[in-house]
């Protein structure tokens, strides 16, 4: 289920970027969606359609994002212990170096 929802999330994100890029901005932008479009719709009708499509895509993106986050939180198994649960311990004292052995007299053979 998570894989399917992730694929839907990616497709919605790509479609959202595409719909945003074809909108005519104040400065001109890409403006691919502008113009007469062969008499199919007026420029104002196209702008309204693209604005509504952007809103619907943004809503779908938010819903899929929240659903994926909820599913990830639900499937996560809590850790049985945490480092924050244990109080810090005092650092161990450094070990003393071994005392050198007393010098001995060499034995002749």
The pLDDT score that the predictor gives to residue 37 is: 47
User: For 19-56, what is each residue's pLDDT tens digit?
Assistant: 988 887 665 555 555 555 454 556 667 778 888 999 99
67 burial via Cβ count (<10 Å: 0-12, 13-18, 19+): middle
User: For 48-90, what is each residue's pLDDT tens digit?
Assistant: 888 899 999 999 999 999 999 999 888 876 656 667 777 777 7
19 burial via Cβ count (<10 Å: 0-12, 13-18, 19+): buried
Q: Is the pTM of this model over 0.85?
A: no
> What residue spans define the domains of the chain?
2-75
């Amino acid at each position: 289920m998570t894989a399917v929802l992730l694929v839907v999330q990616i497709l919605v994100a790509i479609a959202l970027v595409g719909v945003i890029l074809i909108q005519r901005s104040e400065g001109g932008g890409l403006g691919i969606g502008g113009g007469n479009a062969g008499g199919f719709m007026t420029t104002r009708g196209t702008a309204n359609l693209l604005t509504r499509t952007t809103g619907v895509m943004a809503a779908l993106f938010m819903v899929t994002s929240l659903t994926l986050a909820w599913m990830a939180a639900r499937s996560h198994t809590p850790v049985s212990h945490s480092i924050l649960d244990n109080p810090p311990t005092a650092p161990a004292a450094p070990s003393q170096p071994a005392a050198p052995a007393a010098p001995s007299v060499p034995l002749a053979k």
